[in-house]
Amino acid sequence: MKPRIGVLTSGGDCPGLNAVLRGVVLAAEKLGWEVVGFKDGFEGLLPPGEFVILDRAGTDGIMSLGGTIIGTTNRGHFIAKVGAGDRAVVAADVIEKARGVLASIGVQSLIIVGGDGSMTTALQLQEAGINCIGVPKTIDNDLEATAMTFGFDSAVAAVADALDRLHTTATSHKRVMVLEVMGRHAGWIALHGGIAGGADAILIPEIPFDYEKLATFINKRSAGGNHSSMVVVAEGATPKDGQQVLHQTKEGEYRFGGIGDVVAHELAARTGKETRCCVLGHLQRGGPPTTLDRILGTRFGVQAVQIANEGHFGSMVSYQNYQVQHVSIADAVNRLRLVQPSSQMVQTAREVDISFGE
Ligand code: F6P
């Protein structure tokens, strides 16, 4: 039997996941390995094991598809529960069951493609003696350990496209348009998407905003002859002296979303201008990856196999200085990269007259 390497995709989906899977398969086949794709994230590791053999033919043509052909979940038995020292803890018997499944089908190492929560789970599997390699994934691009994650560029492209469309209707009606985008803790998608789409104001979690100042800014634009304005707001943006907007989905579970409507309502009241809100939602997470995300995903997949071949288990692929390298998962987890208000990117936005509502 050929040596086997496992791969799974975990957490929210993201354009570029299939490029990673294809990269893993093509690189692994060169080494004479067989790739086992576990279904629906870590859940596929539970007995009896839900998996498919991924090969060259089965991954042909998948690079341009959004989502993940092996499924994913951000729920289930391996989901991080916060325990002592704020560390996520997966039950010991769950890890033992996964180890049993991996051993029974001859999988010697496991590539885990996921976000920060999935990397925390990967770390625990690694500490329990399962050979793990991490591949970071999030459209939010907010992991400190890697300069970029695939999926981000596609999300930014979706935001810019939405703004291009909203611009024409906003101008025709002399309206204020508020576009709510993803980004719970970090405003990268709003910042990059807003700049690319020619937004007039960008509201992000890292820079608390003031409704009065935002309204004054829009009124000044009107007085200067710009009767429409485009406001991009990250779902985690917070007004000064205010709170993030969350809604309860079920007992004990809250989800971000709704700040766009609140901002639209406040602006309409303070400017007297007709204002509409559009929530971009999962449109920014679906669909074909951009070329950049296809390339980055491919590079991450290939590098994950190379790291496994070199035996650097407990490592996560990382993009630094235009090179794909690796860092230890232990050093990578729980470290968010936030937008710095004094950064060049924010300064650039200010120079092109974008307001942050301060
Ligand atoms: O972390 C990625 C992300 O897309 C966030 O930006 C967003 O808040 C969240 O996932 C949405 O998750 P779900 O698909 O479970 O609603």
Q: How many other C-beta atoms lie within 10 A of the C-beta of residue 106?
A: 13
> Rounded to whole angstroms, how far apart are CA atoms 9 and 130?
17
- Residue nearest ligand 1's atom 10 by CA: 12
Confidence grade of residue 85 (pLDDT, cut at 50, 70, 90): very low
Q: Which of 114, 163, 106 is nearest to 138 (CA)?
A: 114
Which pLDDT score, from 0 to 100, does residue 83 have?
47
Confidence grade of residue 324 (pLDDT, cut at 50, 70, 90): very high
Helices (H), ranges, the chain: 17-30, 92-104, 116-127, 152-173, 188-196, 211-223, 259-271, 291-310, 329-332, 344-351
In ligand 1, which atom is closest to the CA atom of 257?
8
> Rounded to whole angstroms, how far apart are CA atoms 203 and 240?
11
**Helical (H) or strand (E) element with 135:** strand 132-136
Domain 155-286 top-level CATH class? alpha beta
In order, the DSSP letters of 244-284 are: --EEEEETTEEEE--HHHHHHHHHHHHH---EEEEE-GGGG
> Rounded to whole angstroms, how far apart are CA atoms 295 and 106?
30
Single out the catalytic residue among 13, 40, 116, 140: 140
Q: Please calculate the CA angle 18-334-41 and round it to the nearest 5 degrees.
A: 35
Mutate to test the pocket of ligand 1, among 138, 152, 182 (most ligand atoms within 8 A of CB): 182
pLDDT tens figures, 37-69: 999 999 999 999 999 999 999 999 999 999 999
4-150+289-332: CATH, from 3.40.50.450, 3.40.50.300, 3.20.20.60, 3.40.50.620: 3.40.50.450
Domain boundaries, the chain: 4-150+289-332, 155-286
**Ligand 1 pocket, 184 CB below 6 A?**
yes
> Rounded to whole angstroms, how far apart are CA atoms 284 and 303?
26
Q: What is the phi/psi pair of residue 89, to 5°?
A: -125, 120
Which pLDDT score, from 0 to 100, does residue 82 have?
52
pLDDT tens figures, 197-254: 999 999 999 999 999 999 999 999 999 999 999 999 999 999 998 899 998 888 888 8
> Rounded to whole angstroms, how far apart are CA atoms 8 and 177?
39
Mutate to test the pocket of ligand 1, among 9, 139, 233, 283 (most ligand atoms within 8 A of CB): 139
The answer to whether 129 touches 96, Cβ cutoff 8 Å, is: no
Which pLDDT score, from 0 to 100, does residue 56 have?
98
Which pLDDT score, from 0 to 100, does residue 340 have?
98
Share of the chain above pLDDT 90, in %: 93
Report whether pLDDT(84) > 50.
Answer: no
Q: Which of 164, 176, 162, 268 is nearest to 226 (CA)?
A: 176
Cα–ligand 1 centroid distance for 13 (angstroms): 9
Which pLDDT score, from 0 to 100, does residue 87 have?
60
Q: Is 80 exposed, middle or buried (0-12, 13-18, 19+ CB in 10 A)?
A: middle
**Ligand 1 pocket, 167 CB below 6 A?**
no
Active site residue 86: no
Fold match flag (4-150+289-332 vs 155-286): yes
